[in-house]
Structure 1
Amino acid sequence: MARSKLARFKEIAENNIVVEPGKSIFDQIKGNWNEEFFKNNHEIIVEIGCGKGDYTIGMANLFPNKNFIGVDIKGSRLWKGSRLAQKHGLINVAFLRNFVEQLSEQFVPGEISELWVTFPDPRPKRGDEKKRLTSVRFLDIYQSLVKPDGIIHFKTDDLVLFEFTLNLLQMREAKNLLYTFDLYQSDLQHHTLGIQTTYEKRFLSERQTIKYLQYTI
């Protein structure tokens, strides 16, 4: 492992903004994010597969009276996100290093007010459908943890993944489902808060359309 990578992991281990295995708070945080981490009773918004936290940090800047948690398994990504959050002086941001499959080990039902899935790996290979972050098992996890009437958002450039997700939600008769195959030619732009991830900017520069949907629990 490169020395710079070791240094980053060491920095993450010493950084209180990152909750990860090995830290005592990791096993105690379930149901206690407001009390133990944020020290307030503000609503919690979670970004799944957050990468370096473009949406997490962008929303935290816009809404200082809400709490934001970015979830990803890649330590190098969270290192970048945590440094950026601290550079902005944000006290309403946390990063959780864990697999999305294990989300229910760090949250109790209803603890999350809103959830974002932003530009996940489309998993295009045959047989990989169950690994998609909008497959049935993940939708079930989100539904179990987001409070009633809480909103789930999804953004992607990938048409196959978007159609796959949309079809699932329509079969499940998702409440208040709104969607567009071309966000920037639609009237749904305001729902995405004007925030663009690094991936999204790249896709737009390549003249790809951005797909978006939201629904309520």
Structure 2
Amino acid sequence: MTTFALLMGHDKLRKFAENETFGCLLQPSAEELLRDGYLALRDHPVKGHWGERFADPGAPLVLELGCGKGEYTIDLAQREPSCNYVGVDIKGARLWKGAKYATEHALGNVGFLRTRIEFIPAFFAPGEVSEIWLTFSDPQVKSENSRLSSPVFLERYSRFLAPGGKIHLKTDSQFLYQYTLAVCRANGLPVLACSEDLYAEADRFAPCLTEVQTFYEKMFRDQGYPIRYLCFALRSTLLSPCTPKGRGAFPPTPPDIALQSDGGSSAQGLPKETSASLHPSHCASLVGPSRLCETTSKSFALRGGHGRPLFPEATPVSATPPSRKFVAPEDFDSDYWRSVEGHRTLFGRDTAETRRQKLKK
């Protein structure tokens, strides 16, 4: 073992030891979660009690899954002190940086959780979470069930995401962006905002979407990759007619998606494969509980509104819809993305995978 490797190992051990001293970092052991073998999960005591860990127990709770070093969680928390934020990751050495910063700066609305995202339902009670951020997740081209926006994970999120809760996806991966749109189509999930190139369309969105950046976001931008953004909802809630009053008056909704009179939808200006199905009943999620609405509109709302009603003939729907299963998209061509041509589309060049496929021929 080289001297460098020894130093790296020592540094990790130092960080792991310091992690034990951070009150904002929760690190449950496997014994606390697993029962009757590996496949059965036990609820953690913090489930349903996250508010007690923050300065404002009643503030909406926002998760960042796969938060890495926590820079995105920290930045959002400092910009929006009226919300509580929890960054989730399995890598303790990465979480050390965010937890140390939050501790040194006495951030009362920041917490971190070290666990596998597969175990996430064991930590959050139904309705406890207002929003979820998926920032530059691994697209998992070969394993659909490992993608954080797959039906398997959406079912997990639906167990604790509040009615009207939203999921935000930021990614450099065209594959993951298109796949997530296909999942929304297949399950009738309302797409509230979307962009193939967030920074080229920055004037459409609230500044925080481009001003708050992860380590990988900065790296991919420097390499010239467009950053894609998608916001969608899993559940509906009560919808009241509302009149936009300019920027920040209502949660984000794509300006190029318009309701048709027959209750269907049309997405003008978007290619067929990226337009999302938007039914009037799904649009109820655009107006959630008042506090969630205010927080979302302040933080993430599109610029827009010209004094016209958004949905003038809206009708209320159930605020607590039954739990549901999510299905995989049938119109998403996974084989294409695994092919030589698909890899070239994704990466703009040959990769190790395309070279292997060429050798097989």
Same-fold status (TM-score > 0.5): yes
Corresponding position: 1:30 with 2:47: yes
Q: Is the 8 A contact 1:180 1:188 kept in 2?
A: no
For the residues of structure 1 that align with 2:188 and 2:204, how far apart are their CA atoms? Answer: 20
Q: Which residue of 2 aligns with 1:205?
A: 222
Bigger fraction of residues in strand: 1
Which of 99, 108, 124 is residue 107 of structure 1 equivalent to? 124
Gaps of 5+ in 1: none
* Aligned equivalent of 2:97, options 67, 77, 80: 80
Structure-2 separation of matches of 1:194 and 1:145: 29
CA distance in 2, matches of 1:167, 1:63: 31
- 144 and 192 in structure 1: CA distance in 2 versus 1, 3 angstrom threshold: farther
In the superposition, relative to structure 1, how do residues 188 and 170 fare at CA in structure 2: closer, same or farther (>3 Å)? farther
Is the Cα–Cα contact under 8 Å of residues 172 and 220 in structure 2 kept in the other structure?
A: yes
Q: Residue 49 of structure 1 corresponds to which residue in structure 2?
A: 66
Corresponding residue SS for 2:118: helix
Deviation at 1:176, TM superposition (A): 4.1
Q: Give the letter aligned to residue 5 of structure 1.
A: K
CA distance in structure 1 between the partners assigned to 2:177 and 2:104 by the alignment: 34
CA drift at 1:204: 0.7
Q: Which amino acid aligns with 1:30?
A: K
Q: CA deviation at 1:188?
A: 4.4
Cross-structure match for 1:144: 159
**1:119 maps to what in 2?**
136
2: distance between equivalents of 1:56 and 1:17?
13
Q: Larger relative contact order (C-alpha < 8 A, sep ≥ 6)?
A: 1
For 1:180, the equivalent position in structure 2 comes to 195
- How far apart are the structure 2 equivalents of 1:49 and 1:188? 27
In structure 1, give the amino acid aligned to 2:123.
Answer: Q
Q: Detail structure 1 runs of 4+ shifted over 6 Å in the superposition.
A: none
Structure 2 residue aligned with 1:14: 21
Q: What one-letter code is carried by the residue in structure 2 that aligns with 1:189?
A: F
Cα deviation code 1:126-155 (max 9, x no counterpart) = 3x1211111111111122211001111000
Q: Is the 8 A contact 2:169 2:230 kept in 1?
A: yes
Task: Determine if the alignment matches structure 1 residue 165 to structure 2 residue 172.
Answer: no
Q: Normalized against structure 1, the TM-score is what?
A: 0.91
CA RMSD in angstroms, aligned pairs only: 1.9
User: What residue identity is the alignment partner of 1:182?
Assistant: D
Q: Which has the larger radius of gyration?
A: 2
Deviation at 1:210, TM superposition (A): 0.4
With the length of structure 2 as denominator, give the TM-score of the two structures. 0.56
Which of 109, 126, 129 lines up with 2:144 in the alignment?
129
Q: Percent identity?
A: 39
Aligned length: 213
CA apart distance, 1:170: 1.4
CA deviation after TM superposition for structure 1 residue 156, in Å? 0.2
Tell me the amino acid that sits aligned with residue 29 of structure 1. V
* 1:3 aligned to which of 4, 10, 29: 10
Distance in 2 between the 1:176 and 1:213 partners?
7
Q: 1:70 to 1:212 in 2, by over 3 A?
A: same
Q: Following the alignment from structure 1 to structure 2, what is the Cα–Cα distance between the partners of residues 54 and 8?
A: 17
Aligned to 2:250: none
Q: If each structure's helix is expressed as a fraction of its own residues, which one has the higher value?
A: 1
